[in-house]
């Protein structure tokens, strides 16, 4: 960890699960205030298009809009 930031490269298939296991706040405004959420994503857009991002606490799944 450097400068209070931990950078970890993981496959998209495990990203949401990993954030869930680490109890990391995935909300865009870091609104989870419980003691268990001591970690948060600096840039929630890194989960753009990740299907299992909904597993991460507070995360709002970001995906491409459907074409009509």
One DSSP character per residue, 18-32 reads: HHHHTTEE--TT---
> pLDDT tens digits for 4-15?
888 888 888 888
User: pTM to 2 decimals?
Assistant: 0.67
Each domain of the chain, given as residue ranges in start order, spans 12-55
Per-residue pLDDT, 61: 55
pLDDT, tens digit, 9 for 90 and up, residues 3-48 = 888 888 888 888 888 888 888 888 888 888 878 888 888 887 888 8
Distant-in-sequence, close-in-space partners of 40: CB < 8 Å, separation ≥ 6: 24, 25, 26, 27, 30, 32
């Amino acid at each position: 960890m450097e400068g209070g930031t931990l950078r970890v490269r993981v496959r998209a298939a495990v990203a949401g699960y990993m954030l869930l296991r680490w109890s990391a706040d995935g909300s865009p405004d870091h609104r989870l205030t419980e003691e268990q959420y001591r970690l948060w994503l600096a840039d929630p857009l890194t989960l753009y298009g990740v299907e299992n991002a909904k597993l991460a606490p507070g995360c709002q799944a970001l995906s491409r809009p459907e074409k009509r």
